Structure 1
Protein backbone atom coordinates (compact mmCIF):
# COMPACT_ATOMS: atom_id res chain seq x y z
CA UNK A 1 0.00 0.00 0.00
CA UNK A 2 2.85 2.38 0.78
CA UNK A 3 4.39 1.70 -2.63
CA UNK A 4 1.08 2.49 -4.34
CA UNK A 5 0.77 5.69 -2.33
CA UNK A 6 4.28 6.72 -3.35
CA UNK A 7 3.61 5.92 -7.01
CA UNK A 8 0.43 7.98 -7.10
CA UNK A 9 2.10 10.90 -5.32
CA UNK A 10 4.94 10.89 -7.84
CA UNK A 11 2.44 10.92 -10.70
CA UNK A 12 0.63 13.96 -9.32
CA UNK A 13 3.62 15.91 -7.99
CA UNK A 14 6.78 14.41 -9.53
CA UNK A 15 9.12 15.94 -12.10
CA UNK A 16 9.68 12.88 -14.29
CA UNK A 17 8.56 12.73 -17.91
CA UNK A 18 6.05 10.06 -16.95
CA UNK A 19 4.52 12.33 -14.30
CA UNK A 20 4.31 15.28 -16.71
CA UNK A 21 2.63 13.12 -19.34
CA UNK A 22 0.17 11.90 -16.72
CA UNK A 23 -0.72 15.47 -15.73
CA UNK A 24 -1.07 16.50 -19.38
CA UNK A 25 -3.39 13.53 -19.78
CA UNK A 26 -5.44 14.79 -16.82
CA UNK A 27 -5.82 18.25 -18.32
CA UNK A 28 -6.83 16.72 -21.67
CA UNK A 29 -9.44 14.66 -19.82
CA UNK A 30 -10.66 17.79 -18.03
CA UNK A 31 -10.95 19.71 -21.30
CA UNK A 32 -12.86 16.87 -22.98
CA UNK A 33 -15.28 16.48 -20.06
CA UNK A 34 -15.92 20.24 -20.02
CA UNK A 35 -16.69 20.17 -23.75
CA UNK A 36 -18.92 17.13 -23.26
CA UNK A 37 -20.86 18.67 -20.37
CA UNK A 38 -21.41 21.86 -22.36
CA UNK A 39 -22.56 19.87 -25.39
CA UNK A 40 -25.19 17.82 -23.50
CA UNK A 41 -26.36 20.58 -21.14
CA UNK A 42 -29.43 21.25 -23.28
CA UNK A 43 -30.05 17.67 -24.45
CA UNK A 44 -32.55 15.25 -22.88
CA UNK A 45 -31.14 12.31 -20.96
CA UNK A 46 -30.85 8.99 -22.76
CA UNK A 47 -29.65 5.55 -21.58
CA UNK A 48 -26.38 6.14 -23.45
CA UNK A 49 -25.68 9.53 -21.85
CA UNK A 50 -26.71 8.20 -18.45
CA UNK A 51 -24.22 5.31 -18.76
CA UNK A 52 -21.51 7.66 -20.04
CA UNK A 53 -22.17 10.09 -17.20
CA UNK A 54 -21.85 7.27 -14.67
CA UNK A 55 -18.52 6.22 -16.19
CA UNK A 56 -17.22 9.80 -16.11
CA UNK A 57 -18.41 10.08 -12.52
CA UNK A 58 -16.34 7.02 -11.58
CA UNK A 59 -13.22 8.41 -13.30
CA UNK A 60 -13.59 11.83 -11.67
CA UNK A 61 -14.17 10.10 -8.31
CA UNK A 62 -10.95 8.10 -8.69
CA UNK A 63 -9.01 11.27 -9.44
CA UNK A 64 -10.60 13.04 -6.48
CA UNK A 65 -9.90 10.16 -4.08
CA UNK A 66 -6.29 9.95 -5.29
CA UNK A 67 -5.73 13.69 -4.68
CA UNK A 68 -7.22 13.45 -1.21
CA UNK A 69 -5.18 10.33 -0.39
CA UNK A 70 -1.81 11.89 -1.23
CA UNK A 71 -2.61 15.29 0.27
CA UNK A 72 -0.45 16.41 3.21
CA UNK A 73 -3.30 18.58 4.48
CA UNK A 74 -6.66 16.91 3.94
CA UNK A 75 -8.69 19.78 5.37
CA UNK A 76 -7.05 22.32 3.07
CA UNK A 77 -7.53 20.03 0.06
CA UNK A 78 -11.23 19.61 0.86
CA UNK A 79 -11.70 23.39 0.92
CA UNK A 80 -10.06 24.05 -2.46
CA UNK A 81 -12.54 25.44 -4.96
CA UNK A 82 -11.84 22.78 -7.59
CA UNK A 83 -12.23 19.98 -5.03
CA UNK A 84 -15.63 21.32 -4.03
CA UNK A 85 -16.52 21.67 -7.72
CA UNK A 86 -15.55 18.05 -8.36
CA UNK A 87 -17.70 16.90 -5.43
CA UNK A 88 -20.70 18.74 -6.90
CA UNK A 89 -19.99 17.31 -10.35
CA UNK A 90 -19.77 13.74 -9.04
CA UNK A 91 -22.99 14.10 -7.07
CA UNK A 92 -24.81 15.58 -10.08
CA UNK A 93 -23.63 12.69 -12.26
CA UNK A 94 -24.54 9.89 -9.86
CA UNK A 95 -27.86 11.45 -8.81
CA UNK A 96 -28.88 12.46 -12.35
CA UNK A 97 -31.64 9.81 -12.63
CA UNK A 98 -33.17 11.05 -9.35
CA UNK A 99 -33.09 14.83 -9.90
CA UNK A 100 -34.36 17.25 -12.50
CA UNK A 101 -32.33 17.50 -15.69
CA UNK A 102 -31.83 21.22 -15.12
CA UNK A 103 -29.23 20.42 -12.48
CA UNK A 104 -26.98 19.32 -15.32
CA UNK A 105 -25.54 22.86 -15.38
CA UNK A 106 -23.68 22.04 -12.15
CA UNK A 107 -21.42 19.69 -14.13
CA UNK A 108 -19.96 22.66 -15.99
CA UNK A 109 -18.29 23.62 -12.70
CA UNK A 110 -15.77 21.00 -13.80
CA UNK A 111 -14.22 23.93 -15.66
CA UNK A 112 -12.88 25.29 -12.38
CA UNK A 113 -10.28 22.52 -12.38
CA UNK A 114 -8.95 23.81 -15.69
CA UNK A 115 -8.31 27.20 -14.11
CA UNK A 116 -6.59 25.85 -11.01
CA UNK A 117 -4.48 23.03 -12.48
CA UNK A 118 -1.38 24.19 -10.60
CA UNK A 119 0.91 21.34 -11.53
CA UNK A 120 0.10 21.72 -15.21
CA UNK A 121 0.89 25.44 -15.03
CA UNK A 122 4.19 24.60 -13.39
CA UNK A 123 5.05 22.20 -16.20
CA UNK A 124 4.01 24.68 -18.88
CA UNK A 125 6.10 27.47 -17.32
CA UNK A 126 9.12 25.21 -17.35
CA UNK A 127 8.69 23.66 -20.80
CA UNK A 128 6.96 26.29 -22.95
CA UNK A 129 8.50 29.69 -23.62
CA UNK A 130 5.33 30.68 -25.47
CA UNK A 131 3.26 29.96 -22.35
CA UNK A 132 5.63 31.95 -20.11
CA UNK A 133 5.40 34.93 -22.42
CA UNK A 134 1.63 34.79 -22.77
CA UNK A 135 0.57 33.25 -19.47
CA UNK A 136 -1.61 36.16 -18.33
CA UNK A 137 -3.49 36.31 -21.65
CA UNK A 138 -3.98 32.51 -21.76
CA UNK A 139 -5.30 32.32 -18.19
CA UNK A 140 -7.53 35.37 -18.71
CA UNK A 141 -9.00 33.75 -21.84
CA UNK A 142 -9.63 30.48 -19.97
CA UNK A 143 -11.27 32.38 -17.08
CA UNK A 144 -13.56 34.25 -19.48
CA UNK A 145 -14.41 31.08 -21.43
CA UNK A 146 -15.36 29.13 -18.31
CA UNK A 147 -17.35 32.07 -16.90
CA UNK A 148 -19.35 32.44 -20.13
CA UNK A 149 -20.36 28.79 -20.33
CA UNK A 150 -21.03 28.30 -16.62
CA UNK A 151 -23.20 31.44 -16.66
CA UNK A 152 -24.90 30.37 -19.88
CA UNK A 153 -25.89 27.09 -18.25
CA UNK A 154 -27.27 28.98 -15.25
CA UNK A 155 -29.27 31.33 -17.51
CA UNK A 156 -30.60 28.30 -19.39
CA UNK A 157 -31.82 26.77 -16.13
CA UNK A 158 -33.46 29.95 -14.82
CA UNK A 159 -35.00 31.38 -17.97
CA UNK A 160 -35.77 28.45 -20.28
CA UNK A 161 -37.83 25.31 -19.94
CA UNK A 162 -36.07 21.97 -19.92
CA UNK A 163 -37.64 21.23 -23.32
CA UNK A 164 -36.05 24.29 -24.97
CA UNK A 165 -33.22 22.14 -26.32
CA UNK A 166 -30.27 23.40 -28.33
CA UNK A 167 -32.11 26.51 -29.57
CA UNK A 168 -32.80 27.52 -25.97
CA UNK A 169 -29.18 26.98 -25.00
CA UNK A 170 -28.01 29.13 -27.93
CA UNK A 171 -30.44 31.85 -26.82
CA UNK A 172 -28.99 31.61 -23.30
CA UNK A 173 -25.47 31.96 -24.71
CA UNK A 174 -26.62 34.92 -26.83
CA UNK A 175 -28.16 36.62 -23.78
CA UNK A 176 -25.03 36.00 -21.69
CA UNK A 177 -22.65 37.50 -24.25
CA UNK A 178 -24.99 40.44 -24.98
CA UNK A 179 -25.23 41.18 -21.26
CA UNK A 180 -21.50 40.69 -20.65
CA UNK A 181 -20.62 43.17 -23.40
CA UNK A 182 -23.39 45.54 -22.19
CA UNK A 183 -24.78 45.55 -25.74
CA UNK A 184 -28.32 45.19 -24.43
CA UNK A 185 -30.36 44.39 -27.55
CA UNK A 186 -33.38 43.79 -25.35
CA UNK A 187 -34.88 40.99 -27.44
CA UNK A 188 -34.24 38.52 -24.60
CA UNK A 189 -34.74 39.87 -21.09
CA UNK A 190 -35.06 38.57 -17.56
CA UNK A 191 -38.46 39.15 -15.96
CA UNK A 192 -37.88 37.81 -12.44
CA UNK A 193 -35.93 39.43 -9.62
CA UNK A 194 -33.44 36.57 -9.54
CA UNK A 195 -32.96 36.89 -13.29
CA UNK A 196 -32.30 40.61 -13.05
CA UNK A 197 -29.78 40.06 -10.26
CA UNK A 198 -28.08 37.43 -12.42
CA UNK A 199 -27.87 39.97 -15.25
CA UNK A 200 -26.17 42.43 -12.91
CA UNK A 201 -23.73 39.71 -11.85
CA UNK A 202 -22.93 38.87 -15.48
CA UNK A 203 -22.28 42.52 -16.31
CA UNK A 204 -20.07 43.24 -13.29
CA UNK A 205 -18.00 40.05 -13.29
CA UNK A 206 -18.03 39.51 -17.05
CA UNK A 207 -16.83 43.02 -17.88
CA UNK A 208 -14.06 42.67 -15.29
CA UNK A 209 -12.89 39.41 -16.89
CA UNK A 210 -13.13 40.90 -20.38
CA UNK A 211 -11.05 43.94 -19.34
CA UNK A 212 -8.52 41.61 -17.72
CA UNK A 213 -8.17 39.71 -21.00
CA UNK A 214 -7.81 42.93 -23.03
CA UNK A 215 -5.19 44.25 -20.64
CA UNK A 216 -3.23 40.99 -20.76
CA UNK A 217 -3.23 41.12 -24.57
CA UNK A 218 -2.35 44.77 -25.10
CA UNK A 219 -0.13 45.64 -22.13
CA UNK A 220 3.68 45.42 -22.60
CA UNK A 221 4.78 41.80 -22.49
CA UNK A 222 6.37 40.52 -19.31
CA UNK A 223 7.75 37.12 -18.44
CA UNK A 224 7.54 35.29 -15.12
CA UNK A 225 10.98 34.66 -13.67
CA UNK A 226 11.64 34.98 -9.95
CA UNK A 227 14.63 37.12 -9.05
CA UNK A 228 16.88 35.07 -6.75
CA UNK A 229 17.71 38.17 -4.68
CA UNK A 230 14.52 40.19 -4.13
CA UNK A 231 11.84 37.81 -5.40
CA UNK A 232 10.41 40.08 -8.12
CA UNK A 233 8.75 37.68 -10.56
CA UNK A 234 7.80 39.84 -13.56
CA UNK A 235 10.49 41.13 -15.93
CA UNK A 236 10.88 42.39 -19.49
CA UNK A 237 11.42 39.64 -22.04
CA UNK A 238 15.01 40.77 -22.70
CA UNK A 239 15.87 41.75 -19.11
CA UNK A 240 19.44 41.05 -18.02
CA UNK A 241 19.25 42.63 -14.57
CA UNK A 242 16.37 42.91 -12.11
CA UNK A 243 14.89 46.41 -12.21
CA UNK A 244 14.25 46.31 -8.48
CA UNK A 245 17.58 45.19 -7.05
CA UNK A 246 19.94 44.94 -10.03
CA UNK A 247 20.57 41.22 -9.56
CA UNK A 248 21.83 39.39 -12.66
CA UNK A 249 19.02 37.34 -14.22
CA UNK A 250 19.22 34.20 -16.31
CA UNK A 251 15.95 34.21 -18.25
CA UNK A 252 15.63 31.47 -20.83
CA UNK A 253 15.06 32.76 -24.37
CA UNK A 254 14.88 31.26 -27.82
CA UNK A 255 18.00 33.18 -28.82
CA UNK A 256 18.77 35.24 -31.91
CA UNK A 257 19.30 33.02 -34.91
CA UNK A 258 20.30 35.92 -37.14
CA UNK A 259 19.65 35.98 -40.87
Structure 2
Protein backbone atom coordinates (compact mmCIF):
# COMPACT_ATOMS: atom_id res chain seq x y z
CA UNK A 1 0.00 0.00 0.00
CA UNK A 2 2.97 2.28 -0.78
CA UNK A 3 3.89 2.62 2.87
CA UNK A 4 0.48 3.96 3.89
CA UNK A 5 -2.02 2.11 6.04
CA UNK A 6 -5.23 0.93 4.43
CA UNK A 7 -7.50 3.40 6.25
CA UNK A 8 -5.77 6.68 5.20
CA UNK A 9 -5.34 5.32 1.67
CA UNK A 10 -9.06 4.46 1.51
CA UNK A 11 -9.97 7.94 2.74
CA UNK A 12 -7.80 9.57 0.10
CA UNK A 13 -9.25 7.32 -2.58
CA UNK A 14 -12.75 8.33 -1.48
CA UNK A 15 -11.84 12.03 -1.68
CA UNK A 16 -10.35 11.77 -5.15
CA UNK A 17 -12.69 9.22 -6.73
CA UNK A 18 -15.73 8.85 -4.43
CA UNK A 19 -19.32 9.89 -5.03
CA UNK A 20 -20.08 11.57 -1.69
CA UNK A 21 -20.87 15.31 -1.42
CA UNK A 22 -17.60 15.78 0.47
CA UNK A 23 -15.69 14.18 -2.41
CA UNK A 24 -17.50 16.40 -4.93
CA UNK A 25 -16.60 19.52 -2.95
CA UNK A 26 -12.98 18.40 -2.63
CA UNK A 27 -12.67 17.78 -6.36
CA UNK A 28 -14.31 21.13 -7.15
CA UNK A 29 -11.74 23.06 -5.13
CA UNK A 30 -8.99 20.81 -6.48
CA UNK A 31 -9.91 21.67 -10.08
CA UNK A 32 -10.29 25.37 -9.21
CA UNK A 33 -6.80 25.37 -7.68
CA UNK A 34 -5.38 23.62 -10.75
CA UNK A 35 -6.91 26.27 -13.01
CA UNK A 36 -5.36 29.03 -10.87
CA UNK A 37 -1.97 27.28 -11.07
CA UNK A 38 -2.25 27.03 -14.86
CA UNK A 39 -3.01 30.76 -15.09
CA UNK A 40 0.11 31.44 -13.03
CA UNK A 41 2.21 29.17 -15.26
CA UNK A 42 1.01 30.95 -18.40
CA UNK A 43 1.68 34.37 -16.89
CA UNK A 44 5.06 33.31 -15.44
CA UNK A 45 7.25 34.60 -18.33
CA UNK A 46 5.72 38.06 -17.90
CA UNK A 47 5.87 38.31 -14.08
CA UNK A 48 9.09 36.35 -13.53
CA UNK A 49 11.02 39.45 -12.50
CA UNK A 50 8.63 40.49 -9.71
CA UNK A 51 9.54 40.01 -6.04
CA UNK A 52 6.54 37.81 -5.24
CA UNK A 53 7.14 35.41 -8.13
CA UNK A 54 9.54 33.12 -6.26
CA UNK A 55 7.25 33.03 -3.21
CA UNK A 56 4.27 31.92 -5.31
CA UNK A 57 6.51 29.45 -7.12
CA UNK A 58 7.54 27.82 -3.84
CA UNK A 59 3.96 27.75 -2.51
CA UNK A 60 2.75 26.04 -5.68
CA UNK A 61 5.61 23.53 -5.41
CA UNK A 62 4.51 22.64 -1.86
CA UNK A 63 0.85 22.32 -2.90
CA UNK A 64 1.68 20.13 -5.92
CA UNK A 65 4.04 17.96 -3.85
CA UNK A 66 1.38 17.31 -1.20
CA UNK A 67 -1.25 16.64 -3.88
CA UNK A 68 1.06 14.28 -5.76
CA UNK A 69 1.87 12.28 -2.62
CA UNK A 70 -1.84 12.04 -1.77
CA UNK A 71 -2.78 10.92 -5.28
CA UNK A 72 -0.01 8.31 -5.34
CA UNK A 73 -1.25 6.98 -2.00
CA UNK A 74 -4.85 6.92 -3.28
CA UNK A 75 -3.85 4.73 -6.24
CA UNK A 76 -3.06 1.97 -3.76
CA UNK A 77 -0.33 0.11 -5.66
CA UNK A 78 3.10 0.80 -7.08
CA UNK A 79 2.07 -0.68 -10.44
CA UNK A 80 -0.79 1.82 -10.77
CA UNK A 81 1.62 4.66 -10.01
CA UNK A 82 4.20 3.52 -12.56
CA UNK A 83 1.53 3.07 -15.25
CA UNK A 84 -0.01 6.51 -14.70
CA UNK A 85 1.34 9.11 -17.18
CA UNK A 86 -0.33 11.89 -15.18
CA UNK A 87 1.86 11.09 -12.16
CA UNK A 88 5.03 11.17 -14.25
CA UNK A 89 4.12 14.44 -15.95
CA UNK A 90 3.15 16.09 -12.67
CA UNK A 91 6.46 14.91 -11.24
CA UNK A 92 8.29 16.57 -14.13
CA UNK A 93 6.35 19.81 -13.53
CA UNK A 94 7.20 19.61 -9.83
CA UNK A 95 10.93 19.35 -10.57
CA UNK A 96 10.85 22.65 -12.48
CA UNK A 97 9.26 24.25 -9.40
CA UNK A 98 11.61 22.73 -6.83
CA UNK A 99 14.73 23.72 -8.81
CA UNK A 100 13.70 26.98 -10.55
CA UNK A 101 17.29 28.20 -10.96
CA UNK A 102 18.75 24.95 -12.27
CA UNK A 103 15.76 24.05 -14.46
CA UNK A 104 14.66 27.59 -15.31
CA UNK A 105 15.01 27.01 -19.04
CA UNK A 106 12.64 24.06 -18.73
CA UNK A 107 9.88 26.12 -17.15
CA UNK A 108 7.88 25.79 -20.36
CA UNK A 109 7.22 22.15 -19.35
CA UNK A 110 4.75 23.50 -16.80
CA UNK A 111 2.30 23.93 -19.67
CA UNK A 112 1.84 20.16 -19.40
CA UNK A 113 -0.44 20.97 -16.45
CA UNK A 114 -3.16 21.87 -18.99
CA UNK A 115 -2.98 18.37 -20.46
CA UNK A 116 -2.82 16.57 -17.11
CA UNK A 117 -5.83 18.51 -15.79
CA UNK A 118 -8.15 17.93 -18.75
CA UNK A 119 -7.13 14.28 -19.06
CA UNK A 120 -7.64 13.48 -15.38
CA UNK A 121 -10.57 11.57 -13.91
CA UNK A 122 -10.86 14.22 -11.20
CA UNK A 123 -11.63 16.90 -13.78
CA UNK A 124 -14.39 14.93 -15.52
CA UNK A 125 -15.89 13.68 -12.28
CA UNK A 126 -16.14 17.31 -11.21
CA UNK A 127 -17.71 18.90 -14.28
CA UNK A 128 -19.92 16.00 -15.33
CA UNK A 129 -20.14 12.25 -15.27
CA UNK A 130 -22.62 9.72 -14.01
CA UNK A 131 -23.48 6.18 -14.94
CA UNK A 132 -23.82 7.26 -18.54
CA UNK A 133 -22.79 10.47 -20.28
CA UNK A 134 -22.19 11.95 -23.71
CA UNK A 135 -18.49 11.74 -24.57
CA UNK A 136 -18.59 14.44 -27.27
CA UNK A 137 -17.63 17.35 -25.00
CA UNK A 138 -14.94 15.25 -23.34
CA UNK A 139 -13.37 14.21 -26.65
CA UNK A 140 -13.39 17.75 -28.04
CA UNK A 141 -12.04 19.19 -24.79
CA UNK A 142 -9.17 16.70 -24.67
CA UNK A 143 -8.23 17.38 -28.29
CA UNK A 144 -8.36 21.15 -27.69
CA UNK A 145 -6.31 20.79 -24.49
CA UNK A 146 -3.66 18.80 -26.37
CA UNK A 147 -3.45 21.54 -29.01
CA UNK A 148 -3.33 24.31 -26.39
CA UNK A 149 -0.67 22.46 -24.39
CA UNK A 150 1.45 22.08 -27.52
CA UNK A 151 1.13 25.80 -28.29
CA UNK A 152 2.36 26.86 -24.86
CA UNK A 153 5.07 24.19 -24.75
CA UNK A 154 6.53 25.32 -28.06
CA UNK A 155 6.09 28.99 -27.19
CA UNK A 156 8.06 28.45 -23.99
CA UNK A 157 10.75 26.50 -25.84
CA UNK A 158 11.15 29.21 -28.49
CA UNK A 159 11.18 31.90 -25.81
CA UNK A 160 13.82 30.09 -23.72
CA UNK A 161 16.16 29.15 -26.58
CA UNK A 162 15.80 31.89 -29.21
CA UNK A 163 15.05 35.02 -27.16
CA UNK A 164 16.83 38.01 -28.67
CA UNK A 165 17.33 36.51 -32.12
CA UNK A 166 15.51 36.85 -35.44
CA UNK A 167 12.59 38.90 -34.18
CA UNK A 168 11.95 36.98 -30.94
CA UNK A 169 12.22 39.82 -28.41
CA UNK A 170 9.54 38.74 -25.94
CA UNK A 171 7.00 36.10 -25.00
CA UNK A 172 4.37 37.52 -27.35
CA UNK A 173 6.81 37.26 -30.27
CA UNK A 174 7.44 33.60 -29.40
CA UNK A 175 3.68 32.97 -29.21
CA UNK A 176 3.17 34.77 -32.52
CA UNK A 177 5.83 32.65 -34.22
CA UNK A 178 4.35 29.45 -32.80
CA UNK A 179 0.82 30.22 -34.00
CA UNK A 180 1.91 31.33 -37.48
CA UNK A 181 4.04 28.20 -37.86
CA UNK A 182 1.36 25.95 -36.39
CA UNK A 183 -1.19 27.21 -38.92
CA UNK A 184 1.47 27.06 -41.68
CA UNK A 185 0.85 30.77 -42.39
CA UNK A 186 4.53 31.66 -42.11
CA UNK A 187 4.63 35.43 -42.62
CA UNK A 188 8.42 35.36 -42.28
CA UNK A 189 8.75 38.43 -40.06
CA UNK A 190 9.80 36.20 -37.14
CA UNK A 191 12.11 33.27 -37.95
CA UNK A 192 14.36 30.94 -35.99
CA UNK A 193 18.03 30.94 -37.00
CA UNK A 194 20.19 27.99 -37.90
CA UNK A 195 19.51 24.34 -38.56
CA UNK A 196 17.93 23.85 -35.14
CA UNK A 197 15.51 26.68 -35.83
CA UNK A 198 14.47 25.19 -39.17
CA UNK A 199 13.97 21.74 -37.65
CA UNK A 200 11.81 23.18 -34.86
CA UNK A 201 9.77 25.11 -37.44
CA UNK A 202 9.22 21.95 -39.48
CA UNK A 203 8.18 20.01 -36.36
CA UNK A 204 5.70 22.74 -35.39
CA UNK A 205 4.10 22.75 -38.84
CA UNK A 206 3.80 18.97 -39.03
CA UNK A 207 2.43 18.75 -35.49
CA UNK A 208 0.02 21.59 -36.24
CA UNK A 209 -1.52 19.71 -39.14
CA UNK A 210 -1.90 16.59 -37.00
CA UNK A 211 -3.36 18.36 -33.97
CA UNK A 212 -5.81 20.48 -35.97
CA UNK A 213 -6.92 17.36 -37.84
CA UNK A 214 -7.45 15.52 -34.55
CA UNK A 215 -9.48 18.42 -33.18
CA UNK A 216 -11.56 18.52 -36.36
CA UNK A 217 -12.22 14.79 -36.14
CA UNK A 218 -13.35 15.15 -32.53
CA UNK A 219 -15.76 17.92 -33.54
CA UNK A 220 -17.38 16.10 -36.49
CA UNK A 221 -17.20 12.54 -35.13
CA UNK A 222 -20.63 11.00 -34.36
CA UNK A 223 -21.59 11.49 -30.74
CA UNK A 224 -21.10 8.56 -28.38
CA UNK A 225 -22.44 7.85 -24.92
CA UNK A 226 -20.63 6.04 -22.15
CA UNK A 227 -22.91 3.20 -21.04
CA UNK A 228 -21.21 -0.10 -20.18
CA UNK A 229 -22.85 -3.13 -21.77
CA UNK A 230 -24.17 -5.35 -18.95
CA UNK A 231 -22.89 -8.47 -20.75
CA UNK A 232 -19.53 -7.70 -22.41
CA UNK A 233 -18.68 -4.37 -20.78
CA UNK A 234 -18.18 -2.35 -24.00
CA UNK A 235 -18.34 1.24 -22.74
CA UNK A 236 -19.02 3.46 -25.77
CA UNK A 237 -22.12 3.24 -27.94
CA UNK A 238 -24.06 5.37 -30.41
CA UNK A 239 -26.66 7.59 -28.79
CA UNK A 240 -29.54 5.69 -30.40
CA UNK A 241 -28.01 2.21 -30.04
CA UNK A 242 -30.49 -0.54 -29.14
CA UNK A 243 -28.04 -3.45 -29.30
CA UNK A 244 -24.40 -3.70 -28.28
CA UNK A 245 -22.29 -3.81 -31.45
CA UNK A 246 -19.82 -6.17 -29.76
CA UNK A 247 -22.09 -8.89 -28.36
CA UNK A 248 -25.59 -7.98 -29.57
CA UNK A 249 -27.10 -7.61 -26.10
CA UNK A 250 -30.09 -5.31 -25.72
CA UNK A 251 -29.18 -1.90 -24.27
CA UNK A 252 -31.37 0.47 -22.31
CA UNK A 253 -29.54 3.75 -22.76
CA UNK A 254 -31.47 6.66 -21.16
CA UNK A 255 -32.38 9.48 -23.54
CA UNK A 256 -32.33 13.18 -22.72
CA UNK A 257 -35.83 13.03 -21.32
CA UNK A 258 -35.10 10.19 -18.93
CA UNK A 259 -34.84 10.98 -15.25
TM-score normalised over the length of structure 1? 0.84
- Looking at structure 2, the residues matched to 60 and 185 of structure 1 have their Cα atoms a distance apart, in angstroms, of 40
- Looking at structure 2, the residues matched to 242 and 200 of structure 1 have their Cα atoms a distance apart, in angstroms, of 44
SS at match of 1:88: helix
Is 1:45–1:101's contact at 8 Å kept on the other side of the alignment?
no
Tell me the residue number matched to 1:34.
38
Tell me the residue number matched to 2:222.
220
- Looking at structure 2, the residues matched to 71 and 230 of structure 1 have their Cα atoms a distance apart, in angstroms, of 26
- Answering whether residue 53 of structure 2 is matched by residue 49 of structure 1, we say yes
Is 2:234–2:246's contact at 8 Å kept on the other side of the alignment?
yes
SS at match of 1:47: coil
SS at match of 1:104: helix
Match of 1:150 among 150, 153, 164: 153
Match of 1:66 among 67, 70, 75: 70
1:78-93 equivalences under 5 Å are 78=82, 80-93=84-97
Match of 1:202 among 196, 201, 204: 204
1:128-207 equivalences under 5 Å are 129=133, 132-161=135-164, 168-207=170-209
Tell me the residue number matched to 1:248.
250
**1:78 Cα deviation after fit:** 4.3
1:104-143 equivalences under 5 Å are 104-122=107-125, 124-126=128-130, 129=133, 132-143=135-146
My pick for the range that moved more, 202-211 or 53-62, is: 202-211
Match of 2:8 among 4, 9, 19: 4
- Looking at structure 1, the residues matched to 33 and 131 of structure 2 have their Cα atoms a distance apart, in angstroms, of 20
Q: CA 1:176–1:250 in 2, change beyond 3 Å: closer, same or farther?
A: same
**1:240 Cα deviation after fit:** 2.5
**1:100 Cα deviation after fit:** 6.8
- Note the aligned Cα RMSD (angstroms): 2.8
SS at match of 2:187: coil
- Looking at structure 2, the residues matched to 220 and 15 of structure 1 have their Cα atoms a distance apart, in angstroms, of 29
Q: Which has the higher helix share?
A: 1
1:88-107 equivalences under 5 Å are 88-96=92-100, 98-99=101-102, 101-107=104-110
- Looking at structure 2, the residues matched to 182 and 207 of structure 1 have their Cα atoms a distance apart, in angstroms, of 8
Matched residue count = 253
- Looking at structure 1, the residues matched to 185 and 125 of structure 2 have their Cα atoms a distance apart, in angstroms, of 38
Gaps of 5+ in 1: none
SS at match of 2:237: strand
Q: CA 1:127–1:34 in 2, change beyond 3 Å: closer, same or farther?
A: farther
- Looking at structure 2, the residues matched to 13 and 146 of structure 1 have their Cα atoms a distance apart, in angstroms, of 25
**1:11 Cα deviation after fit:** 0.9
Is 1:176–1:202's contact at 8 Å kept on the other side of the alignment?
yes
Gaps of 5+ in 2: none
TM-score normalised over the length of structure 2? 0.84
Is 1:30–1:113's contact at 8 Å kept on the other side of the alignment?
no
Can you list the C-alpha shifts for 1:163-212, whole angstroms capped at 9, x where unaligned? x99x7211111111111111121221121222222222222222211111
Tell me the residue number matched to 2:241.
239
Is 1:226–1:232's contact at 8 Å kept on the other side of the alignment?
yes
